[in-house]
């Protein structure tokens, strides 16, 4: 292909509407805004579907990236000109679908002896939460998942999270070992003094109960801290 033909093809590529561009070249050639525009299908008076999509992405976060779609509420979306209830629900479902796909992909590679694999699996569920959630992950003697469940919502500290309630659940499901995971809504995954205190108490209780604490993982914004990796355990 000569240069003139290449320039001509690229100009045509840019002129195509998102739906036509998708049909011609495939979804992989579309920008984030164009992908969303294909799903929304129509714009509003004075704004094309792409411009509407760009406004939606900017509402999700200041960088206008797809990650923000997961965290936008229906009512927030409906405040945007051109976004009614149907489009708002469509966008919310897109965010939820992408979250579930990411989680399922992570689950297929999940190894509960690998802190990074564990963190990536729970990341999509926990990184956007506006309150601290503590999840207890219970494992069998082959380090396979028996069950996971939310133990507390709120500040994770020694007064609110007691070894008693955690190990009662672990005993109820006959867990051999456990992993404790909680998020920091600030996005900073660095452990606080309270986090270190809670971990120490759980580790000592686990030694007495015969149920080992494999790890305590803190989830931040696309980041995590593993107490095991940091050799705090």
Q: Which of 104, 121, 145 is the last residue of a domain?
A: 104
Distance CA 119, CA 219 (A): 7
Residues 196-215 have pLDDT tens digits of 998 999 999 999 999 999 99
Q: Which of 66, 87, 104 is the last residue of a domain?
A: 104
The arithmetic mean of pLDDT across residues 157-161, rounded, is 54
Distance CA 195, CA 221 (A): 17
How many domains is the chain partitioned into structurally?
Answer: 2
Q: Is the pLDDT of residue 219 over 80?
A: yes
19-33, 115-129, 153-167, 192-206: least confidently modelled range = 153-167
> Does residue 43 sit in the same domain as residue 76?
yes
Q: How confident is the model at residue 154 (pLDDT cuts 50, 70, 90)?
A: confident
How confident is the model at residue 157, as a pLDDT? 53
Q: Is the pLDDT of residue 190 over 60?
A: yes
> Does residue 98 sit in the same domain as residue 117?
no
Q: What is the pTM of this model?
A: 0.60
Residues 49-91 have pLDDT tens digits of 788 888 788 776 554 556 667 667 788 888 888 788 888 888 8
CA-to-CA dists, residue 19 to 23, 34, 38, 93, 109, angstroms: 6, 8, 5, 20, 34
Asked, for residue 20, whether it belongs to a domain, the answer is no
Residues 41-52 have pLDDT tens digits of 776 776 787 888
Q: Angle at CA 180, nearest 5°, toward 126 and 161?
A: 95
For the chain, how long is the longest CA-to-CA vector? Answer: 76
> Does residue 85 sit in the same domain as residue 182?
no
Output the six-digit token pair for 28: 């992989």
Asked, for residue 23, whether it belongs to a domain, the answer is no
Residues 86-138 have pLDDT tens digits of 888 888 888 788 778 877 776 666 788 889 989 988 987 888 788 899 999 99
Asked, for residue 6, whether it belongs to a domain, the answer is no
> Does residue 121 sit in the same domain as residue 189?
yes
Host domain of residue 56: 31-104
Secondary structure, 3-state, 75-140? HHHHCCCCCCHHHHHHHHHHHHHHHHHHHHHHHHCCCCCCHHHHHHHHHHHHCCCCCCEEEEEEEC
Q: Edge-to-edge strands of the sheet including 212-219?
A: 145-153, 133-139, 177-183, 212-219, 224-226
- CB distance 198 to 226 below 8 Å: no
**Exposure string (b/e) for 142-176, b if CB count within 10 Å is 16 or more?**
eeebeebeebbeeebeeebbbbeebbebbeeeebb
Length of the chain: 233
Asked, for residue 7, whether it belongs to a domain, the answer is no
Asked, for residue 208, whether it belongs to a domain, the answer is yes
> Does residue 129 sit in the same domain as residue 216?
yes
Q: Angle at CA 226, nearest 5°, toward 185 and 97?
A: 55
DSSP string of 201-226? HHHHHHHHHT-EEEEEEEE-SS-EEE
Burial of 41 (0-12, 13-18, 19+ CB in 10 A): exposed
Closest by CA to 37, choosing from 25, 24, 26, 52, is 52
- CB distance 39 to 30 below 8 Å: no
How confident is the model at residue 5, as a pLDDT? 47
> Does residue 130 sit in the same domain as residue 165?
yes
CATH number of the domain at 148, please: 3.40.140.10
Output the six-digit token pair for 232: 């705090």
- CB distance 70 to 98 below 8 Å: yes
């Amino acid at each position: 292909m000569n240069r003139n033909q290449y320039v001509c093809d690229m100009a045509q590529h840019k002129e195509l509407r998102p739906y036509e561009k998708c049909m011609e070249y495939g979804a992989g050639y579309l920008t984030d805004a164009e992908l969303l525009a294909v799903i929304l299908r129509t714009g509003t008076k004075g704004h094309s579907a792409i411009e509407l999509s760009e406004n939606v992405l900017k509402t999700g976060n200041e960088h206008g990236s797809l990650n923000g779609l997961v965290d936008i509420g229906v009512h927030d979306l409906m405040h945007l000109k051109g976004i009614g209830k149907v489009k708002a629900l469509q966008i919310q479902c897109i965010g939820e679908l992408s979250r579930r796909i990411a989680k399922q992909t992570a689950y297929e590679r999940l190894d509960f002896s690998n802190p990074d694999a564990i963190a990536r699996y729970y990341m999509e569920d926990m990184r956007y939460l506006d309150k601290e959630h503590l999840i207890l992950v219970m494992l069998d003697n082959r380090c396979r998942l028996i069950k996971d469940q939310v133990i507390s919502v709120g500040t994770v500290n020694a007064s609110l999270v007691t070894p008693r309630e955690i190990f009662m659940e672990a005993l109820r499901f006959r867990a051999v070992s456990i992993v404790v995971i909680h998020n920091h809504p600030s996005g900073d995954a660095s452990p606080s003094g309270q986090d270190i205190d809670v971990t120490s108490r759980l580790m000592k209780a686990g030694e007495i109960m015969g149920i080992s604490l494999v790890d305590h993982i803190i989830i931040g914004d696309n980041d995590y801290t593993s107490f095991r990796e940091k050799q705090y355990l």
